[in-house]
Amino acid sequence: MQFFFATAGHIVFGAGTVVQAVREAAHMGHRALLVTGRTPGRAIDIGRQLEKAGVAWIPFGIPGEPEIEQAAQGAALARDEHKTRGSGHHS
């Protein structure tokens, strides 16, 4: 049996990683699509910290394992949000 597994090149987890993730997001740009699981409210703290770091964010909830179609929907949401709101913060 053969299979191919692709994932992010950089994964960080554990205590204190929210601070590190926000710092890295701010280094990458001024807008973020904050992908959450079934309970988007659990990511509010990260969203607030992104705002403090000058990063506008858009929440995007996915209740299970993401499908390619959902990734495309998230990308479209981010593009549309940027067109309508510019670089303003979302909370």
The reported pLDDT for the residue numbered 39 is 86
Residue 51 lies in a domain: yes
- Residue ranges making up the domain that contains 56: 36-91
Residue 53 lies in a domain: yes
Residue 87 lies in a domain: yes
Q: How far apart are CA 23 and CA 55, in angstroms?
A: 10
What's the chain look like in SS3?
A: CCCCCCCCCCCCCCCCHHHHHHHHHHHHCCEEEEEECCCHHHHHHHHHHHHHCCCEEEEEECCCCCCHHHHHHHHHHHHHHHHHHCCCCCC
Structural domain tally of the chain? 1
Q: pLDDT by residue (tens digit) across 12-64? A: 788 888 899 999 999 989 989 898 988 888 889 999 999 999 999 988 999 88
